[in-house]
């Protein structure tokens, strides 16, 4: 899954740029300029998706982008952690079971799936392989403004 979501940017009174995500309920942020609003939107999106992990619910699938929307993606480490969480959830793999596969403690595996905790990308990649997934980093050109 790609952890890049379409967002809607609206300009409110006083030239405040407000960013919302149709696929991720309740995520709204804003700033006085478009660039800063999009930067804050990445943090807000990451925090909201971490909340799905904390509540142990499915992460929403991004919808197709429509005219007037832009894409905001989470950072690569967070995306890898979200993919690990999603794979474990989809396959019914517990942290304890994954810890056994990897020869790690349950606590260590818990850190690998927690977007709010620091983890080395090579450790997350190893865990992804253990659940039959791989890490893919995709780039895209930002529109010229």
Count of residues in the chain: 145
Pairwise CA distance, residues 99 & 85, whole Å:
13
Q: pLDDT tens digits, residue range 12-71?
A: 877 899 999 999 998 999 999 999 999 999 999 999 999 999 999 999 999 999 998 999
Residues 6+ apart with CB under 8 A from 27: 20, 21, 41, 44, 45, 48
Q: Report the predicted TM-score, pTM, of the whole model to 2 decimal places.
A: 0.88
Q: Does the pLDDT value for residue 145 go beyond 50?
A: no
Q: pLDDT tens digits, residue range 91-144?
A: 999 999 999 999 999 999 999 999 999 999 999 999 999 999 986 655 554 544
Pairwise CA distance, residues 124 & 112, whole Å:
6
Pairwise CA distance, residues 99 & 108, whole Å:
8
Question: CA neighbours within 13 Å on the CB side: how many for 1?
Answer: 21
């Amino acid at each position: 899954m790609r952890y890049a979501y379409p967002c809607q940017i609206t300009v409110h009174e006083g030239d405040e740029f407000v960013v919302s995500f149709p696929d991720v309920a309740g995520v709204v942020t804003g700033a006085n300029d478009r660039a800063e609003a999009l930067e804050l939107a990445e943090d807000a999106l990451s925090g909201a998706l971490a909340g799905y992990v904390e509540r142990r619910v499915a992460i929403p699938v991004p919808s197709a982008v429509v005219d007037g929307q832009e894409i905001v993606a989470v950072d690569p480490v967070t995306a890898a952690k979200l993919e690990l969480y999603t794979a474990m959830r989809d396959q019914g793999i517990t942290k304890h079971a994954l810890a056994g596969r990897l020869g790690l403690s349950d606590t260590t595996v818990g850190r690998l799936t927690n977007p709010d905790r620091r983890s080395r990308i090579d450790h997350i990649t190893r865990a992804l392989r253990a659940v039959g997934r791989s890490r893919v980093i995709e780039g895209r050109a930002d529109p010229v403004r």
